[in-house]
Copies of this chain bind each other. A is one copy, B any other.
Amino acid sequence: MIPPATRQSVADVAAALDLAVVGRELYDRIGRLYPICRSITGNGVRETLRLLGSELDLEIREVATGTPVFDWIVPREWNIRDAYIMNGNGQRVVDFNASNLHVVSYSVPVRARLTLAELRPHLFSIPDHPDWIPYKTSYYSETWGFCLSDRQLQSLPDGEYEVCIDSSLEDGHLTLGECCLRGRDTAEVFISCHVCHPSLCNDNLSGVSVAVTLATLLRRVPLRYTYRFLFAPGTIGAITWLALNEPHVPKIKHGLVLACLGDRGSPTYKRSRRGDAAIDRTVAHVFRHASHECHSEDFAPHGYDERQYCSPGFNLPVGVLSRTPHGRFPEYHTSADDLAFVAPAALADSLRTCLKVIEVLEGNGMFLNKNPKCEPQLGRRGLYATLGGHSDERRTQEAALLWVLNLSDGTHSLLDIAERSTMPFAMVRDAATALVEHGLLEELSAPD
């Protein structure tokens, strides 16, 4: 999809994106990851990261059970081989092999014969969606259970059943995967997505897949920021990463949690706790100039791993990029969040949005007008001529030059200028580049 030649900039990568091709790539990756039974620990996460490692330079870190991480402790590792409910005729009426959602995640091992009445408290369904299997977990209280469609639950005849969950919950490790792309600066852009959900597509194989393609695209270009991609189980994974990397955390200047990026809804951004961080303003800018509807909403302390990144002791400038946010689509945490629920076009649009955001982060800067008293004579320098284009375009480009000159007083970044002028960032950035080339502008230190 991307020719091997190194591209010049993130903007070029974004501009060259073939949405149909990249959408298919994003979708196919989800297809490969979909069957794996993931949880917050165990071989499902390992297998997932192994697959991602075939595409990315992924550093894997195993953190031992019992490791204290702030107020938490890394839990025992859970693995599962098989599970079923068998009826009196020896038929598996519920079978883990048919869907890994059938078993409550972190179920302790069980092997027993139970009447339906005895089994009933361990069975979970969704009466409102009688054909869907719910997704349930019980990480921190030891129990076991099965999930099944309400239609099946209602049709189970009385009688005795054999239940088997061939799982293990033992000391082991929690697994984290990290991919780091070094830029000119040690300041970092942090991209995080949770990898703990089993066969669910939008939540969050969509976020994982977008992150992987994003990393493969960014490694082709010279970068200003260092980019760190974290693939970790939700909550405990983010907490563990923060606990193990606390001295590193202040390097994070901008961040995004990627989740639920494949459904057919429009893009949604949840602002960081700060509300006006550069990442918040950047996404707002990209959304304002998007060709389709997008909306931003305020931070709230419930959600995904932004809960940890935006806890008051860190208060990182990390927002969440989604399409329909988690919990707001009925398919959420059910078997209906499947391969049909996510769409290549939506995934590709999500990726492009990430690139547009990064294009602004990379290109933003603070400049100083070297002729601050009155306008410099642009005509004499051929600046109008070099811009080309037909007359409306020329007028806009001239306006961009004037805006950059007028506001480059050491207090306005290019993003500030784009916002005040209501121009798209790229146009302001191009004007700044032309003015630097003509000696009319000089770059100050980059804003964080």
Q: Which residues of A contact B (CB under 8 A)?
A: 69-72, 140-141, 235, 238-239, 242-243, 246, 273, 298, 300-302, 307-308, 310-315, 369, 371-377, 379-380, 398-399, 402-403, 405-409, 420-421
Contact = CB atoms under 8 A, between A and B. Distances in A.
12 contacts: A70-B376, A72-B377, A140-B380, A141-B379, A238-B374, A242-B373, A301-B403, A301-B406, A310-B406, A311-B405, A313-B374, A314-B373
A302 B407 contact: no
A405 to B, nearest CB: 7
A409 B312 contact: yes
B239 A374 contact: yes
A393 to B, nearest CB: 15
Given A312-B369, A399-B300, A405-B301, A375 B141 contact: no
A374 B409 contact: no
A273 B406 contact: yes
A409 B274 CA distance: 13
A119 B431 CA distance: 36
Contacts of A239: 374-375
A398 B300 CA distance: 12
B140 A243 contact: no
A270 to B, nearest CB: 13
A140 B369 contact: no
Contacts of A375: 71, 235, 239, 307-308, 311
A405 B379 CA distance: 56
Given A71-B371, A140-B379, A239-B375, 16 more contacts: A71-B374, A72-B377, A140-B380, A141-B379, A243-B373, A243-B374, A273-B406, A298-B420, A300-B403, A301-B403, A302-B399, A310-B406, A311-B375, A311-B405, A312-B369, A315-B409
Contact of A71 (B69, B71, B311, B376): B376
| Copies of the chain in the assembly | 3
Nearest to A307: B375
Contacts of A311: 372-375, 405-406
A34 to B, nearest CB: 29
Nearest to A327: B395
Nearest to A69: B374
A383 B242 CA distance: 24
Contacts of A409: 312, 315
Contacts of A399: 300-302
A408 B312 contact: yes
Contacts of A273: 406
Given A300-B421, A421-B300, A374 B406 contact: no
Contact of A371 (B70, B369, B403): B70
A311 B440 CA distance: 14
Contact of A372 (B238, B301, B313): B313
B312 A402 contact: no
A310 B402 CA distance: 12
A235 B406 CA distance: 15
A239 B313 CA distance: 49
Of the candidates A298, A311, A371, A376, the one having the most CB atoms from chain B within 10 angstroms of its own CB is A311
A310 B405 CA distance: 11
Contacts of A402: 301-302, 307
Contact of A377 (B71, B301, B420): B71
Contacts of A235: 375
Of the candidates A375, A398, A403, A409, the one having the most CB atoms from chain B within 10 angstroms of its own CB is A375
A229 to B, nearest CB: 20
Contacts of A71: 371, 374-377
Contact of A398 (B302, B314, B379): B302
A157 to B, nearest CB: 30
